[in-house]
Amino acid sequence: MAIQRMDNVLIVVEDLDAVIAFFVELGMELEGKGPLDWRGAERVIGLDDVLQDVAMLRIPDGPGRIELAKFHRPKAITPEPKDAPANTLGIRRIMFAVDDIDEVIDRLRNHGAELVGEVVQYENIYRLCYVRGPENIIVGLAEQLT
């Protein structure tokens, strides 16, 4: 048996609208947003008495999705340290291929994003960087060079 695809990545957030705006500015499309009204979710995630709003964003014409969840109940837990560095255990970033890395960075700065380090070139293949957005979400950007 083989994996068919990676369906989505879940990010738990406090400010659902700000994070949606950030990913839409990056180029993703909002598929839907609203309360999760399925009691089976509690059994899947192992929490009781859950009240949450969710949003699903997708890459246009692509298979990748990001699911955002804002927990009203039980309250979300903040990781420590809040601005965790790249060597912190766990999922640290999501990488996106982009057409123009400088243009994307400029647009994301309007949503409070800032570079984690700097834009660097890997051989003659890519320009790469990490950007920290709202809620300290880190996205990697990769521009393939021609």
Per-residue pLDDT tens for 87-131?
A: 888 888 999 999 999 999 999 999 999 999 999 999 999 999 999
Which helix (H) or strand (E) covers residue 97, if one does?
A: strand 94-98
Whether the full predicted model's pTM is greater than 0.95, yes or no, is no
Max CA pair span of the chain: 52
Per-residue pLDDT tens for 32-51?
A: 999 987 778 888 888 888 89
Q: How confident is the model at residue 80 (pLDDT cuts 50, 70, 90)?
A: confident
CB-side neighbour CA atoms (13 Å) of 59: 13
